[in-house]
Structures are given as C-alpha cells and as structure tokens.
Structure 1
Amino acid sequence: MPVPVAPGRLPLLGHTLPLLRHRPDFTASLRELGEVVRVDLGPLPAFFVTSPRLSHEVLVTQGAKFRKGAMFDKFQPYLGNGLLLSNGPFHRRQRRMVQPAFHRDRVAGYVETMRRATADLVAGWRAGEVRVVEDDMQGLAVTIVGEALFSTGIGAPVIAEVRRSVFTVIKQGMVRALSPSFVERLPIPANREFDRAVARMKAIVLDVIAARRAEGVDHGDLLSTLMLAQDDDTGGGMTDQQTYDEVLTLLTAGIETTAIALAWACHEIAAHPEVEARVHAEVDEVLAGRPVTAEDVPRLVYLGRVVNEVLRKYPVWILMRRALVDVELGETTIPAGGEVIVSPHALHHDPASHDDPERFDPDRWEPERATRLPRGAYVPFGAGTRQCLGNLFAHTEIVVALATIAARHRLTPLPDKQVRVKFTSAAYPSGMLMRVEPRPR
C-alpha cells in the first residue's frame, strides 16, 4: 500500500519546520491520514505510526526487529552509550547490570530522600507568597535524583551543576535531533550553550567517579550500585566511561519526566477542586499527620490515579526506532534501515482510546475503565524491553512529593496569569505562578 505523506514538506528541510513549530498539533493530525504516514526529518524519510495497535507492535510485539533510531543517534556524541541510546548485546548487558538499582526494595529505600527533599522545599514557602512552580519542581527533581545518585554531601557540587545545565542539554538536544545535521555545526548561541553545558556536566561527573574509584567505599547510593555492578555472564563491571554514560542517562531521562509531571500535577489538582478535595482527604486519612513512608505509597490509591492521569496528559512527545530487517506493520512494509516514529503524546490524546482526552480525569484509571484501554494506548515510559527502568522510581517520587505537599499546603493559581506551554521533548509549563496557602493542621 502506498504510504501517505504528511503535508507541509519542504526541499532539504522536509517536515522539520512544522514539527518544530506545531509539535503536538502536527503529530496529532497525522492519524487522519492513516495508521502509517511518511514524515521527513530533513532529507531523512521516516514512518510515523499513529495507532495504538501498530505502536504496540513497534515497541513490544516486534520490538526485537528494531533498534534506537536517528533521533537517538544525534544524542549519542553528547550523552554517550547509556541505556537510553545503546543497542544490541551491549544494551542487554548494561540493562542487566543497572536493573538491580531500580528493584522495588531499592526504590523503597529512596522514599525518605524523596520526602525529605520535598519537605525541605516546602519549608521555605511562606503563606501568601507566589511561587514559580515549574522552577520549584525542576529543582526538586534535580535534588532527588542527584541525592539518590551521589549521596547528599558528596554530590552537592554535582547537583548544583546538573541544576544549571541539564535542561539546556535536554531542550537544545531535541532541536538538534529533529534538525538537519548541518544545524548543529552552525556557530550560533544555542549550539555554544549546549556544548558548554555538556562539557561542564561531563567534567564534574567524571571527577566524582574517579574519586569514588580511588576511595573504594560503598556509599549506598545509585552511583555506588553502578560502580559495584558485575555482569553475571562475563564477571566484568563497568568502565568509568560506561558508568558516566549511565549516570548522564539517569540525570537527563530521570529528571525531565518527573519535573514536568510534578508541575502539571500541582496545576491540575488546583484547577479541579473536586480532585483537590479527594487528594487532601486521602492524604489526611492515610498519613494521619505523619510523614509519608514507602508503605504508604500503594495505599494512596487516588493520588496514584492522579499521577497516572498527569503522565497520560503530559508525556514524552516522540520516540524513534530503526528497523533492523524488513518489518510488516499492518499493510505497510518498513524496509530494513527505515526510521519509525511513535508519539506517546498523540497516542495519549487519541479520542478513539481516551474519552474526552483533553479532560483531566483521574477516575479513568479505575481498574474497570483502565483495563478497557487498547494495548499501546498508554506508554508514558515506553514499553517492551526498552521500557524505562526508572518508571517505578519516578512514579513513587511523584506520589511522595505530592503527598508531602498536600499534607500541609494548597497551591492556588493566580486568576489573571495563564500558564504557557513550551514544547520541546514534552510539554514544559512556563510561567506557572501559584500562591501558597497553608492547610489547617
């Protein structure tokens, strides 16, 4: 079957301009053209998959026939060969070695770090003051992941540098990934800023790894877990470069999703009084005035549904894969080497899968309703063998942070200030100003 071509293609640039200018609207519109649509990234043709059915095939059923795609190749010179970007046997080896760091018991051990970091943040809030919520939540996500990785005292300089640089790497990296290759070689301010941010992060993280090697002490954090990990098949561990690549992967992938979700969760809870009332009632009942613990997380059922709904509404924009062999997707043959794009954002906003998708509705995650979702319709952390290993860590972190905030505070939006959205790799909130109101104890 001939594959329809998305409108707006230009010579040399392909669909780069509509992709960058109208990101979610452009990708959402493609489902009207068919289940597979051609989209050109500059001169590179790609196959955009619009349906949950075929997205599930790409990510899960036929996942072994794909590797990471061109978008990830663009990141590799800067972010290394960690789990986010690696392929084949090396990826399987690294995944085996990293996986124990995110075992359920290990994640439970980081709940106190998550709670304490959130408590430290809100301890600085004053009644009636206006906070820039996206800044607070970005800082909180950096602190939690940074302390889990590097421990509190030892990691302070690294955490400060990550807070300074990581969002530059993420935002400018996405622009590079979707642009023709010559763009990243242009002597423009954005490129210089990106290169400096990567260089700063690399230098300070490698210094910490070298110091840890010389010290030879297990600090009980994620970095120690990575440095002590041994491959059961070969008996070898990670080199300093491999450890660095995994650390940078955890920093970039682990901070962005959580920071965005936390900010939008604060916004959506405040915008829906009935949701806020149910969150507060559940937090008050489960916690009964004490700090949240790991045992409380599964008991905060409604808050967990709120988090699921935030992750549905504000997920990663696109993922890419490259076919290793000819692959049949529906009535389309993807040739070996062909690039495939899946959009979690478009899938999560497809009215064929999600009733009234623009409405914030945590009750859509009640078990009876959630089980009716088609496979592939909800992929906030990807799916299959490349599903994000940090998904439980991130979900737990968001629940713990929101419960800690809700136990003592309300955040109310300013009626005359509308939140702007800046789309890069996901929907970043901008100008999310909210007023702090203490809750009665």
Structure 2
Amino acid sequence: MTVPVAPGRWPFLGHTPALLRRRFVFTDALHEHGEIVKIYLGPSPTYFVTSPRLTHEVLVTSGPKFRKGAMFDKFRPFVGNGLVLSNGDFHLRQRRLMQPAFHRDRLAGYVETMRRAAADLADSWQPGDVRMLDEDLQGLAVTIVGEALFSTELGKAAIAEARRSIYLIIQQGMIRALSPKFVEKLPIPGNRRFDEAITRMQAIVLEVIREWRTEGVDRGDLLSMLLLGGMTDEQARDEVLTLLTAGIETTALALAWTFHELGRHPEVEERVHAELDEVLDGRPVTGADLFRLAYVRQVVDEVLRQYPLWMLMRRTLTEVDLGDTRLPEGAEVIVSPHALHHDAASFEAPEKFDPDRWSPDRAKQPPKGAFVPFGAGSRQCIGNVFAQNEIVITVATVAARWRLVPVSDRPVRVKFTSAAYPESLPMTAVRR
C-alpha cells in the first residue's frame, strides 16, 4: 500500500549527539506506513521503499528497469559520467572495462600498499598523543586509493591535491545534490570553493593521464588498467574522480567509527587484540590473514551495519509493478540502507553494537535486501572488496600497536550528509 506522508524537517544537515540519537528518525520510521511510502520532496512525489524484499527487487531482481535517480543527475556535471553515475549500456561497458582492475590477483597486489600506509600512520604517533582520528583516517584513505590509482611522481601531486580537495567536493557536492538548483548559482563561499576544487582535481587527473599516454606502460596501478582497457582520456578522468570520491568516503568513515566503537566497548577491543596476537604473533598483516581475522571482520560488518549511507536513489525507466504498487515511468525511488540496517524485523536490538550477531554459530543471515552497505546487483560498488580489505588491514595494523581511547571531556557529535560523519573524533593513542 502507498501512503502519502509529508516530510518533516529532514535531518541530513542537522547535528545530534552521538550515542543519544543515531537514527534518522523520519526515514527509519517510514516502514510503519507500509513497504512503499509516497513522500513529497518539494512538489514531486518520491516513493520510499522500506522493506528488504522490495529493496532487493529494486536493486537486483528488477534492477534493469531502473536507472540512477535525481540526486545523481545533479552530481554528473561536476564529476562526470563515471561508474557511480552512468546508466544503461554505457555503464555496463565501463564496468566491464574496470572489472579487471578489481580482480582477485590485482586486489592482492594492493595489500602491501594498504599495510604500509597504515603502518606509516601508526608510526607517526607518540604515546599520549590526542589524535583527531577522523582527519588522520581521511588522509589515510586518500593515500591508499591515490597510491593504488597513481604510481608516478606526478601521481604524488594528484594525491596531494586529493587530500586538499576531495572531502570538500564530497560534502559540498551532497549539499548541492539535496538543494534546489538555484543554490549552486549563488555567489557564496561554499560554491566558490567547490567549483575551484573540482577544476583543480580535473586538471591534475588529466595531466597524469596525458603523462601516461606518452609512455603507455602498465605500471600495475588502477589508471594503467583503465587506459589499457581502451578508455578515452575523458572516460578515464571521470572514472578516476569517481573512484576518489566513492572510494574514500565510505572507507574513512567506517575506519573512524570502528575505532570509536572499539574505544567504547573494551570487551570487543580485547577480543580484537587477542585475535591479532594469535593470528599475527607480532608480524605484519598479509593478504593470507584477511580471512583468518574472523572476529575483526565481524566488527567491520557491524560498523558497516550501524553507519551506512543514508539513501540510494533510483528512477524507473518504464512503468514498474513493485509489490502492490504500480510506479509510473520516471518515478523517483529512495532506498535507505540506514533504515534497513536499523529495522528490528531484520536485526535484533538494532541500536546495540554487537559484532557477535555476525558470528557463524549465531548468525542468521538477514533477508536479501536487509544488509546493503555497498548496494547490490549490477550497481553494487565495484570496489567493495578493496574497501573491506583496506578496513581490515588498517584495523589489524593500527590495533596491533595502539589502543585508541576516547577523550572523556570531548563528546563525539555527528553531522549528517550522505552518511554519518563524526564532527570530530579526538582519541588518545596509548601504546599496547
């Protein structure tokens, strides 16, 4: 049944105290009105899908009947027609060209890059340092994706520019995507900084691509795979910008929230340390260890459940029968991973941080569509395994050396954009 609901105050730019109100109250409560809820964002209706069953249908079973929705259209002029934003046959061609870059053998080659970058970060700390951990991990995520993309001296300049600009692009871009079109024309500082950052990033990426063209050598990096696969300069530029934006935010946030939750739950932290001591026995983590670190992976899955994206948008390409509702052609559809991951029908005590819900002896697989931290179907994030490996390797490398202790007089606050960001995350480094 479709129930019209007028939206209240949308929370994506609000601030709420962490641990007191994690849930997006409005969107997480929509399931009480049915599996499909019609809401109005301005004058146009949008169909909010609330159940795992219909989420799986939108993302997987009937995926070809949908394309990316209005929010993604607003990003396209700025970051191009990369894999996250493209549609139809072009998207399928681009995905096939990019898939070899994320093959198992290539992913194994990135493990040492991830471990070394995480070790360099951990080595830079001193006992008693109060680290702004969110900033440290944002920089780490940029370094890892950047080094996987670029392996030249000019690539180092691109990584430096990404450190300067990419988070401004992500956050200001989300504000633009969720604002009326006239807002992007306003002569305000946020717009100016966003436009300048996009221009700088596009220029440096094209410069790296042109340098590669003069040599045409497979350097073993992601950019080589894209260009050897036959992409034009413009296609490669768009895909690089997509990988930088989509490949950094989710990973950096998951890492930040992982150390936050370990700091809040000493019993979980102790089990993580015990597993690291047993599996690694003081040596650096390797690719062969990834599946031996079973409890660390449970912790990561629980973080991805607790702190996912707020929403995914789709648009119908034709009339679609979804459940008991016929959606018209061109209908905007929203799926909220956050709402799905906090639904008590799929997850017992969903507000509780409980890595053991993913343990083999206890885990009851959630229904299809209930756990979608990286999307699903043909539009599932192509770098999902890369990101999960990066998180596990970083946790293993850092937690083998350090405990990160919350600063008691500086409560963590959350700001909402496309996902839940810590407004700041101060933690004290304590040598194990």
TM interval, short-chain normalised: over 0.9
Is the Cα contact below 8 Å between 1:258 and 1:398 reproduced in 2?
A: yes
Q: How many residues were matched structurally?
A: 425
Partners in 2 of 1:283 and 1:152 — Cα distance? 34
Q: Any runs of at least 4 consecutive aligned residues in structure 1 with deviations exceeding 4 A, and if so which?
A: 17-23
Mapped pair 1:387 → 2:380: yes
2:114 counterpart residue number: 114
1:351 counterpart residue number: 344
Query: Amino acid of the residue matched to residue 275 of structure 1?
Result: V
Shift of 1:165: 0.8
Partners in 2 of 1:376 and 1:368 — Cα distance? 22
1:123 counterpart residue number: 123
2:294 counterpart residue number: 301
Mapped pair 1:282 → 2:253: no
Q: TM-score, normalised by structure 2?
A: 0.95
Partners in 1 of 2:2 and 2:128 — Cα distance? 60
Shift of 1:45: 2.2
What aligned pairs does 1:233-312 form with structure 2 within 5 A after superposition?
237-312=230-305
- Compared with structure 1, are the counterparts of its residues 261 and 2 closer, same or farther at alpha carbon in structure 2 (3 Å cutoff)? closer
Shift of 1:101: 0.4
2:134 counterpart residue number: 134
Query: Amino acid of the residue matched to residue 261 of structure 1?
Result: A
- Compared with structure 1, are the counterparts of its residues 435 and 2 closer, same or farther at alpha carbon in structure 2 (3 Å cutoff)? closer
Partners in 1 of 2:35 and 2:12 — Cα distance? 18
Query: Amino acid of the residue matched to residue 418 of structure 2?
Result: S
Mapped pair 1:59 → 2:50: no
Mapped pair 1:196 → 2:196: yes
Mapped pair 1:158 → 2:155: no
1:12 counterpart residue number: none
Shift of 1:20: 4.5
Mapped pair 1:210 → 2:210: yes
Partners in 2 of 1:303 and 1:152 — Cα distance? 33
Partners in 2 of 1:32 and 1:245 — Cα distance? 40
Q: Deviations over 1:73-92 (max 9, x none)?
A: 00000011111000111100
Q: TM-score, normalised by structure 1?
A: 0.94
SS at the partner of 1:48? strand
Shift of 1:44: 3.1
Query: Amino acid of the residue matched to residue 76 of structure 1?
Result: R
Q: State the percentage of identical aligned residues.
A: 67
2:367 counterpart residue number: 374
Shift of 1:351: 1.3
Partners in 2 of 1:88 and 1:307 — Cα distance? 32
- Compared with structure 1, are the counterparts of its residues 180 and 45 closer, same or farther at alpha carbon in structure 2 (3 Å cutoff)? farther
If asked which structure has higher relative contact order (CA below 8 Å, sep 6+), I would say 2
2:390 counterpart residue number: 397
Mapped pair 1:411 → 2:414: no
Shift of 1:369: 4.2
For structure 2, the 5+ residue unaligned runs are 16-22
Shift of 1:413: 0.6
2:176 counterpart residue number: 176
1:92 counterpart residue number: 92
- Compared with structure 1, are the counterparts of its residues 166 and 322 closer, same or farther at alpha carbon in structure 2 (3 Å cutoff)? same
Query: Amino acid of the residue matched to residue 282 of structure 1?
Result: E
1:43 counterpart residue number: 43
Partners in 1 of 2:153 and 2:340 — Cα distance? 42
Partners in 1 of 2:407 and 2:178 — Cα distance? 35
- Compared with structure 1, are the counterparts of its residues 32 and 205 closer, same or farther at alpha carbon in structure 2 (3 Å cutoff)? same
Is the Cα contact below 8 Å between 1:104 and 1:392 reproduced in 2?
A: no
SS at the partner of 1:283? helix
- Compared with structure 1, are the counterparts of its residues 179 and 43 closer, same or farther at alpha carbon in structure 2 (3 Å cutoff)? farther
SS at the partner of 2:240? helix
Query: Amino acid of the residue matched to residue 346 of structure 2?
Result: S
For structure 1, the 5+ residue unaligned runs are 9-14, 230-236
Shift of 1:368: 4.9
SS at the partner of 1:106? helix
Q: Deviations over 1:37-76 (max 9, x none)?
A: 2223333321111111111111011111101111100000
Query: Amino acid of the residue matched to residue 123 of structure 2?
Result: A
1:186 counterpart residue number: 186
Is the Cα contact below 8 Å between 1:150 and 1:221 reproduced in 2?
A: yes
Partners in 2 of 1:260 and 1:296 — Cα distance? 23
Partners in 2 of 1:262 and 1:120 — Cα distance? 16
Is the Cα contact below 8 Å between 2:67 and 2:317 reproduced in 1?
A: yes
Is the Cα contact below 8 Å between 1:3 and 1:332 reproduced in 2?
A: no
Is the Cα contact below 8 Å between 1:42 and 1:180 reproduced in 2?
A: no
Is the Cα contact below 8 Å between 2:2 and 2:36 reproduced in 1?
A: no
Partners in 2 of 1:130 and 1:113 — Cα distance? 26
Between 151-160 and 91-100, report the one with greater CA deviation. Answer: 151-160
Q: Deviations over 1:375-399 (max 9, x none)?
A: 1110000000100010000000000
Alignment root-mean-square deviation, CA: 1.5
SS at the partner of 2:29? helix
- Aligned match for 1:322, one of 298, 315, 322: 315
Partners in 1 of 2:235 and 2:339 — Cα distance? 34
- Compared with structure 1, are the counterparts of its residues 2 and 126 closer, same or farther at alpha carbon in structure 2 (3 Å cutoff)? closer
